[in-house]
Structure 1
Amino acid sequence: MAALIWSRHVRHRLAVLYSDPFSYSLELGLPQPSQSMFDGDPEVKRECLWRGTAMDAKSLCADRRLSTLRCRSEKGKWQDIDLPITTYASMLSEYADPFAAPELIVMRNILRSWRFYDTFRTDADAPARRTSTGTRTHASSLLLPSGAK
């Protein structure tokens, strides 16, 4: 089994530029060095949720840095959320308040609606590609031979 070796200065950002109505980014990095067995596991350094595709100070709806989360109120003022979030969990999974942060719930539902086909082989000899008894499925959920939707 190969080990993944991270540089101490590496950060990776995953951004979902959805724009309708929100976009989201998740930034991962390494924790502070310690004697923990989990010293090499990535942690969430920052998460942001904003309106549109361009993230700027005015469009931010929610901003999480390490274990601190703040959300904008209806009036546009920042509110600190009194909920420490562990560094290995996402604000989308840990905080749900339809009144203080409805945007988080909307983005969580958008991401939950996505379909990922990462648990079965897709090569030419994969069992899923063999001739078999047909089943009924909606045309919108079929994959092309290339694996694309």
Structure 2
Amino acid sequence: MPYKFNFDFSGLPRKFFNEIIEISYEKELHKKASDKIRGLIKKFKIEEITGLDLSCMLNVIEDLIEIYALNNFYRKDFEKTSKRALFLPHCSRKYMDSNCKSTFNPSIPSYICNPCSPDCLINKASEIGREKGYDVLYTSRFFLYPKNN
């Protein structure tokens, strides 16, 4: 969004922005705003006119705000930990067949990347994660939920 003025926030302390995010998250302002926007989308039939599923877009934006807020909220606790893990969705693999060289570890239960292709997203993320000292795992959501007995 272009503005008719210049601004520089670099002099403001990060704590200022963190406080805004925390207060906004606690009061669920991101959800309240998206509820109002959803109402306008329905009222003006924006989805029908544009063919875009704006409700889905709003869900993504709402989720991104929530993720950012929670990341900020838990940052200090995260920085205190010595053991970290990066969980990736299996759908980010380049290959969905035997070309994927990952191995499944049933004790975790997750897959571990054994690099197959330099342009595989799992491979790239695994490399970055390992460089930072993370355990890197990827799994399908099926394995994230305990079985009901």
TM range (shorter): under 0.3
TM-score normalized with structure 2 length: 0.25
Query: RCO (CA 8 Å, sep 6+): is it higher in 1 or 2?
Result: 2
TM-score normalized with structure 1 length: 0.25
Query: Which structure's residues are more often helix, by fraction?
Result: 2
State which structure, 1 or 2, has the greater radius of gyration over its C-alpha atoms.
Answer: 2
Query: Which structure's residues are more often strand, by fraction?
Result: 1
